[in-house]
Amino acid sequence: MARTPSPGGVTITNATLQMMMRWAYRVQDFQIIDGPSWLTTARFDVAGKTGTSVSEDVLLQSMLRALLVDRFRLVVHNETRELAMYALVPARSNGQLGPHLRRSAACATPLEQQSARSEDRARTASLPTCGPKVFPGNMSVVGGTMQALTVNLSVFVGRTVVDRTGLTGTFDYDLTWTPDLSLFTAVQEQLGLKLESTKGPVDIVVIDHVEKPTPD
């Protein structure tokens, strides 16, 4: 599967409708409901072009949504439903952080590192790069918020995760889990936080109608 945005369009190859809806509506898989049986199995290639240069956000939202309506006859509506979710909370009564979670020192974004003036380049180059590296079984993040952590966790636990840690500012963390060390255990042991089951309002996208597209 590949997703290639460019200033003049976007090309998507070997993607399911669920993947494309996830990008277009900025939701997780569990927030897309009432889809057809082929929502997660059938694979498609989609290409779209614009007459002007637009940002990646526009390409992957407005433009991709329009493509899904045109090619898949997709009709959806949004709802908020009371669903099971997790709350991210401190695991220790004294609020102590885990060994793999620490307050961020200074970091620089890739854009800042590239655009730094010559006199600032050495200092900027010496800073770690802000941003996440998130893969199945590992998260390595520099300069991330608790809100961003909950978004990353929700991908792997299949539910919305809300931040109730009370922690503000930015953090660096390294989180690793395996089949023998569950994500829930890793969060508690390595970050000093835990995921508690709860319920709350979740925004969802309901599929009202969709059709398989015919080849061009």
Nearest-5° Cα angle at 207, 41 to 70: 80
Our measurement of the distance from residue 104's CA atom to the centroid of its chain's CA atoms, rounded to an integer in Å, reads: 21
Structure tokens at 202: 């979740």
pLDDT attached to residue 12: 82
pLDDT attached to residue 64: 84
Mean pLDDT of the chain: 85
Using 70 as the pLDDT threshold, list the residues of the chain that sit under it.
1-10, 48-60, 107-127, 216
pLDDT attached to residue 61: 74
Are the beta carbons of 205 and 78 closer than 8 angstroms? yes
Q: To which H or E segment does residue 56 belong? A: helix 56-58
Q: Could you read off the pLDDT of 155-186 as tens digits, one per residue? A: 999 999 999 999 999 999 999 999 888 999 99
* CA dist., res. 27 & res. 129, Å (int): 26
pLDDT attached to residue 166: 95
Strand-by-strand arrangement of the 138-144 sheet: 101-103, 171-176, 138-144, 131-135
Are the beta carbons of 162 and 87 closer than 8 angstroms? yes
DSSP 183-200: HHHHIIIIISEEEEEEEE
| Interstrand relation of 101-103 and 2-6 (parallel, antiparallel or unpaired) | unpaired
Instruction: Calculate the alpha carbon distances from 113 to 131, 138, 189 in Å.
Output: 13, 25, 34
Q: Which of 106, 125, 148, 169 is nearest to 139 (CA)?
A: 148
| Interstrand relation of 161-163 and 75-90 (parallel, antiparallel or unpaired) | parallel
* CA dist., res. 196 & res. 168, Å (int): 20
Q: Where are the domains of the chain?
A: 2-72, 83-202
